Amino acid sequence: MSTQDINVRQKPAVAATGGNTETLLATKALTKNFGGLTAVDSVDFSVTEGEIRCLIGPNGAGKSTLLELITGQLSPSEGDIYFDGEDLTGMETHNRIDTGLSVKFQSPHVYENLTVEENLQVPLQRTDRDTETVLAETLERIDLTEKADVRASELSHGEKQRLEIGMAVTLDPTLMLLDEPVAGMSVDETADVAELIRSLHDDGMTFLVVEHDMEFVRRISDQVTVLNQGEIFRQGPIEEIEADEAVRRIYLGENA
Amino acid sequence: MSESVDAEASVLDRLRGRLEGPNTYGNSLPFWAVFAVVIAGLALYPQLVGVYTVIQTSRYFALAFLALSLSFIWGYAGILSFGQVAFFGVAAYTFGIIGLNFSSATEIMAALVGAILVGTVAAAIVGYFMFYGGVRDTYVTIMTLVIALVLNTFMAQTAGSEWAVGVAQLGGFNGMDIPSLTLGIGQSGFVLERAALYYALLAALVVTYLGLRVLVNSSFGLTMVAIREDEARTRTFGYDVPFVKLVVFTIGGALAAVGGVFYGSWGNYIDPTVFGIAFAALPVVWVSVGGRESLVGALGATVLIERMRTELSSGIGPIGSEWALVIVGGLLLGVILFMPAGVVPTADDLIARLRDRRTERGQSTNTPEEAIE
Amino acid sequence: MIEVAATPLQLSAPSLGALLFQFLNSFGFIILATVGLAIIFGMMGVINLAHGEFILIGVYGTALTYHAGVPLPLAMVAGVVVTTIFGVIVERTVVRHLYDRLLDSMVATWGLALVISQLLLIVFGSSLDSISTPMGSVSYGPFSSSIYRSIFLPIVAVAVLGGLYVLFTRTEFGVKARATIKDPETARAMGVDTDRMYVSTFAIGSALAGLTGALYAPALGSITPNRGSTFLVEAFVAVVVGGPSVIIGTLSASAVLSVFNATGSFFFGTFIGQMLLLLVAIVALRLLPDGITGYVKDWQQRRRAEQ
């Protein structure tokens, strides 16, 4: 499959929210080919410190691929990734995490056979933060204090999702990457997660969130980037994006 | 209560805290009581039975290191090696080679260190190639077995007199002589054999077991378990997974090497069958039967299964010695099919369930706070 | 087999010929030792640790029938049939329960291996009379090579791979089998009886092991219950080096490995040949963790991407 140039790619307007804020994450001409398929096509993309940037787009737009390129599970065919002034491109995943990234994948990847508390300890013990304090605080935050000693396999889907966000948070990252954090969740569970993200954001954490659920995006987001066929299609404040006819056609139209 | 008793209690508590945790079975006072009784019983054992039994039991103890080695890497980090016998055998041969060339007590002690070092480094090299090469799961298992089998082929053809290191003849299928372990300085030393070897092995085994319990219940232990449960996810928390696996595999190699030195010096002999497929299967049998995630299970199963093999070697009733391997193989097959977790974890689960049934329903799943309310 | 002259080897025409025959001998052996294991591994992900013993059952089936007075070709058929039936029984009673526990399936089949070889010892004693190798040998200069081992068996080996290729690409069974491997859920939804696919694949793997046993029954010399492991090292190494694609993997791994094995064995003896196999395997794994076919797939993808 080859990509069609229906739309002219827009050069990213870096830091759409304001002039002086610092760019935390930037990709330069990032490209990933799978066989004949170009999943991510020369993407210049950036996340500014302190924002919640949502990445939306139809299925197969390359959102998850972009995330995996940033975490280093995939290596790019071409292009570079910069984070907090460092070039991540050739780095191993574990070294990238050490620069202040943290990630939560689409389907919950918790350690099913470990208890909630042990799950949180796995990432937490890598930091030099105070275990007791952070554990109590995180359990409170993800509302699982009462289930600290329960095996993760016994949690509900929503609880697992919250637990995994909690695990990612214990690393105290500068930038949190979330891949569809509310997929498969009930309305109430979704509201809880939105609340959680907002509160972490208030504490100064920057987010890059890949999301399908526009309702949820509206709840949390400052800034939206639309990805389509591996390319950046539009960027801007949520209201603008929602009002954009072309976006509706490629994205919202598909879901309607 | 006086302050000194308090202080003593807190030291004991702290020690227990280190030894206990979610990664080991037996985290209760009754367990430690039974443990103490068993150790006391084993300490008295040589006074109660003949020297033949003492010598045989020493052999089980030497082999138990091999079981601990496999339980540690497989049960905790999910690395299934069929070739732990390779490091075991390499250490035994190395000990023999150094020990035969230098014979003073100091030199034999150096041989002990050297042999363990060689076995450990061998494991580190194999581990480096596998884990940094991205070799996974089944491939690790096959590679380790192939390494053992090739060592078997290699050692089997060293019968010729050109295969000698100094005065040590490798001896091919005829095997090689190995000196006894000797403690001491200079020429005079205390030779570890019979009851002395038994006690040395018992002490080493207890220390190793407790040390491994501390290790698997530490943060490193949690890392191992995290890698076993989900390697990819653990990487995305910033763990250097290949490095952790290499460390685990190297420790496993060191444990096997310790067992190999004891085993070689126990029989004053080693031959290529230690690298053979039948011997390589034994650690897998012990650890599977006892429960791979249970160090104490691996120890118990090793002693009991090897005891059974010894008994069978002279035949029991109509069952001759040739049936020993059939029974061992059948045991392995049966455990994997009907009791995949192994005896100790299954028994532990059963006890926990019985206890739950006895206490009031519903209370078992609650957290302690709720239980108090 | 090749009898090497006592004089130092020179690269004369006869010695090059001997090297070629050694290569063919080794090539045929590795393919035949591997193919049954590779089918079961490639299709189901299961490593059958009792593979050597399956081959041994083929050897015993053939030898016992032959010694009972049946002509060798018919005795070989008997060897294949016995092994296939045994394989189906093992699949139904053991392997079936372990499809989602791959490491456990290795451990269980190892238990099985111990039981089989020991039972063969108990029932049939420490050895069976050997069967003389048919077809004689060809002499050239100071060397002689067995026609059966160095010419006939390599041809059979390649024919077996060719047959498998046809089976898996040109028949309905093959299409279903590959669909099952790719995605059992979808295959089931499309009406493929996946359970039957697994039995059939295991049966084919067992039949191939039996065939290997039958073919090598007259080429092993002494027939003893521990001969199963003779096949194991080569088979395991070839599966590891070849990677998950059965036919291409087995063929390419066998070719690469037999070059090293033959050269090593020819100049330095059998054990150096085997050490070389191991070294190649380790280096190959370090460079190509998914085997040759894994690498080829990757390379094809990259090339397609560039176009």
| Segment B126-142, tens digit of pLDDT | 999 889 887 878 889 98
Q: Is residue C64 part of a domain?
A: yes
- Distance of alpha carbon B7 from alpha carbon C274, whole angstroms: 62
Q: Give yes or no for a contact between C77 and C233, defined as CB atoms under 8 angstroms apart.
A: no
Interchain pair B235, A93: CB under 8 A = yes
Chain A / chain B CB contacts < 8 angstroms = 61
Q: How many domains does chain C have?
A: 1
Higher pLDDT, C274 or A229: A229
Residue C305 lies in a domain: no
Angstroms from A47 CA to nearest CA on chain B? 20
More confident call, B355 vs B274 = B274
Q: At which residue do the structure tokens 């060798």 appear?
A: C72
pLDDT in tens, A66-110: 988 998 888 888 999 999 888 988 888 888 998 888 998 877 789
Structurally, how many domains does chain B consist of? 1
In a domain, C250, yes or no: no
* Residue C241 belongs to some domain of the structure: no
Q: Can you give chain C as a three-state secondary structure string?
A: CCCCCCCCCCCCHHHHHHHHHHHHHHHHHHHHHHHHHHHHHHHHCCCCCCHHHHHHHHHHHHHHHHHCCCCHHHHHHHHHHHHHHHHHHHHHHCHHHHCCCHHHHHHHHHHHHHHHHHHHHHHHCCCECCCCCCCCEEEECCEEEEHHHHHHHHHHHHHHHHHHHHHHHHCHHHHHHHHHHHCHHHHHHCCCCHHHHHHHHHHHHHHHHHHHHHHHHHHCCCECCCCHHHHHHHHHHHHHHHCCCHHHHHHHHHHHHHHHHHHHHHHHCHHHHHHHHHHHHHHHHHHCCCHHHHHHHHHHHHHHHHC
pLDDT of residue C298: 64
- Restricting to B residues 202-241, those with a Cβ less than 8 Å away from any Cβ of A are 219, 222-223, 225-226, 229-230, 232-241
Contact B235 A112 (CB under 8 A): no
Indicate the average pLDDT of chain B: 87
Tell whether C91 is covered by a domain: yes
Position C252 in a domain: no
For residue B264, the Cα-to-chain-centroid distance in whole angstroms is 15
Tens of pLDDT along chain C (307 residues) come to 344 444 445 567 777 777 888 888 888 888 888 889 988 888 888 888 999 999 999 999 999 999 888 898 899 999 999 999 999 999 999 888 888 888 888 899 999 998 998 898 888 888 888 887 888 777 776 777 777 888 888 889 989 988 988 888 888 888 888 788 777 788 888 878 888 888 888 999 999 999 999 999 888 888 888 888 878 888 888 888 887 777 888 888 888 888 888 888 777 777 777 778 877 877 777 677 666 666 666 666 655 554 4
Q: Are A170 and A151 in contact, with CB atoms under 8 Å apart? A: no
Range of the structural domain that residue C199 is part of = 14-228
What does the pLDDT read at residue B274? Answer: 93
- Do the Cβ atoms of A35 and C307 come within 8 Å? no
pLDDT score for B352: 84
Residue A174 burial class via C-beta count within 10 angstroms: exposed 0-12, middle 13-18, buried 19 and up: middle
| B68 assigned to some structural domain | yes
The one-letter amino acid code at B12 reads L
pLDDT tops 50 at residue A1: no
In this prediction, residue C56 carries a pLDDT of 94
Whether the pLDDT of residue B252 is over 90: the answer is: yes
Domain extent for B50: 28-358
pLDDT of residue B364: 43
CB C22 within 8 A of CB C266: yes
Annotated domain spans of chain A: 23-255
Which residue in chain A has the smallest CA separation from C306?
A36
Q: Could you tell me the CATH number of the domain that includes residue B305?
A: 1.10.3470
Angle at C203 between CA C200 and CA C208, to 5 degrees: 130
CB atoms within 10 A of CB B361: 8
Tell me whether A140 touches chain B (CB under 8 Å). no
B16: in domain: no
- Please list every residue in chain C whose beta carbon sits closer than 8 Å to the beta carbon of residue A37: 305
With a cut of 50, say whether residue B373 has pLDDT above it. Answer: no
Domain A23-255 belongs to what topology?
A: Rossmann fold (3.40.50)
Cα angle vertex A194, ends A189, A200, to 5°? 125
Mutate to test the interface with C, among A1, A34, A40, A42 (most CBs of C within 10 A): A34
SS3 at position A82: strand
Collapsing DSSP to helix, strand or coil, A55 comes out as strand
In a domain, C262, yes or no: no
pLDDT of residue B324: 84
| Partner chains of A (3+ C-beta pairs under 8 Å) | B, C
Residue of A nearest to B219 (CA): A125
Neighbouring chains of C at 3+ CB pairs under 8 Å are: A, B
> Taking CB atoms and an 8 Å limit, are B239 and A94 in contact across chains?
yes
Question: C26 near C258, Cβ under 8 Å?
Answer: yes
Model confidence at B277, in pLDDT bands (50, 70, 90)?
A: confident
User: What's the whole-number average pLDDT of chain A?
Assistant: 83
